[in-house]
Structure 1
Amino acid sequence: MSTIKVRVDQKRLERAAYVLKCVAHPVRISIIDLLEQKQRLSVSELQEALKIEQSLLSHHLINMRDKGVLQTQREGKHVYYSLLDTGIVQIIRYISGNKAL
């Protein structure tokens, strides 16, 4: 009888669960998808693409930034968001059914 074991160490599993909980919302998954297409976007660009209220978008962006999914860069009046860990885009690839995106 062969022995099976967990292939991922506990710290990586905990981090994965933390990130998955953070992004488990359609708007947040959409933000990841948009940032995968264009490496950085301003709040106004994200708002235009998502067609949601700026206050709701800011709530999602701040939460994702605080949890280490996104990073920000300020240029004058504009704040640009980008993915901190691009490995998260694998979720989008899986959801879309296209592993070669």
Structure 2
Amino acid sequence: MPLTTREGPLYEVKAGLFKGLSHPLRIRVLELLSGAAEVSVAELQQETGLEASHLSQHLSVLRRHRLVESERRGSHVFYRLADPAIAELLAVARRLLVNVLQADRELLADARSLPSLGS
């Protein structure tokens, strides 16, 4: 029997988490937040180059999937990671990507060392 939460089976909840991570700009925002205790929306906008409305949509997805938390102070809104494990997840994903790219590089080198056909 699968482990369930109030949102459904755990594997479905995990899939939702990965949906929250499924856009390159959301990954970029999370990486920016990983490097600081908190970042203002203005700073996120400057770093990503996104229009305010597009950034707001991405932040909304990240909030909905409980990847970030926000706090309003006066006219400024600040974001932070909802859990330090998110930074760890990004680091693991980076290591995995480096390993995959290294394996691809080795395959490419092997393919280039094969004798050419024809000509």
Same fold (TM over 0.5): yes
- 1:31 maps to amino acid: V
Deviation at 1:81, TM superposition (A): 0.8
- 1:87 maps to amino acid: A
* 2:104 aligned residue: none
Percent identity of equivalent pairs: 32
Q: Unaligned stretches of 5+ in structure 1?
A: 1-7
The change in CA–CA distance for 1:89 and 1:13 in structure 2 (over 3 A counts) is farther
* 2:88 aligned residue: 90
Deviation at 1:9, TM superposition (A): 4.4
TM, length-normalised to structure 1: 0.77
* 1:70 aligned residue: 68
CA distance in 1, matches of 2:65, 2:92: 22
- 2:94 maps to amino acid: S
Q: Unaligned stretches of 5+ in structure 2?
A: 97-119
The change in CA–CA distance for 1:90 and 1:14 in structure 2 (over 3 A counts) is farther
RMSD between aligned alpha carbons?
1.9
CA distance in 2, matches of 1:90, 1:84: 12
Helix, strand or coil: the match of 1:97? helix
Deviation at 1:56, TM superposition (A): 0.6
CA offsets, 1:16-52, max 9 Å, x none? Answer: 2211111110000011101110121111000111111
TM, length-normalised to structure 2: 0.67
Higher relative contact order (CA 8 A, sep 6+): 1
Deviation at 1:12, TM superposition (A): 4.1
| Count of aligned pairs between the two proteins | 91
